C-alpha cells in the first residue's frame, strides 16, 4: 500500500500520511489513529504502540488510562479518581465540532488535588 492509498483510505490525506511516515508527525490523536488503524486493518492499539514518543514521558499505559478515563466521562461517569494521586476529579463534557463539521463531545477533567488535567 502506498502513502497515497493510505491517505485516501484513512481520510487523513496523503500529506499527513507522508508526514506520519517521515516521522514529522509522531503523535496521532485518538480519532486519527482510529482512521489510520481502520485503513490498515489493524487494532488502534497496535499503532499506539509503534507511535514514536521522543519528547513525552507519558507511557502507553498512562495514555490508555487517560483515554479510558475520557471514554468513561463521555459515558456519563462523574465519580472518578485522579489516576495520578487518587484525588477527586472534576469532570465535564465539552461539545464541539470536528474538522468535517460533525458534532463531537470532548471529555474534560481536572484534579482538585494535583496538576492532572484531561483535555
Q: Which stretch binds Zn ion (CB under 5 A): 30-38, 42-50, 68-76, 86-94?
A: 86-94
Nearer to Zn ion, 27 or 110 (CB): 110
Q: CB burial class (10 A; 0-12, 13-18, 19+) of residue 69?
A: buried
| DSSP-derived secondary structure for 63-117 | HHHHHHHHHHHHTT----B-TTTS-BEEEEEEEEE-TTS-EEEEEEEEESSSS-E
Q: Does 84 bind Zn ion (CB under 5 A)?
A: yes
Q: Residues 82, 91, 107, 109: which binds Zn ion (CB under 5 A)? A: 82
Nearer to Zn ion, 106 or 116 (CB): 116
Contact residues toward Zn ion (CB under 5 A) are: 82, 84-85, 87, 111, 113-114, 116
Amino acid at each position: 500500500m502506498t502513502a497515497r492509498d493510505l491517505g485516501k483510505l484513512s481520510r487523513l490525506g496523503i500529506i499527513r500520511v507522508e508526514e506520519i511516515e517521515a516521522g514529522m508527525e509522531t503523535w496521532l490523536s485518538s480519532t486519527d489513529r482510529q482512521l489510520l488503524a481502520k485503513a490498515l486493518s489493524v487494532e488502534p492499539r497496535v499503532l499506539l504502540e509503534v507511535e514514536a514518543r521522543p519528547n513525552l514521558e507519558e507511557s502507553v499505559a498512562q495514555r490508555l488510562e487517560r483515554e479510558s478515563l475520557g471514554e468513561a466521562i463521555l459515558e456519563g461517569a462523574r465519580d472518578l479518581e485522579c489516576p495520578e494521586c487518587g484525588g477527586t476529579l472534576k469532570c465535564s463534557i465539552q461539545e464541539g465540532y470536528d474538522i468535517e463539521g460533525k458534532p463531537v463531545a470532548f471529555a474534560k477533567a481536572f484534579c482538585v488535588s494535583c496538576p492532572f488535567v484531561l483535555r
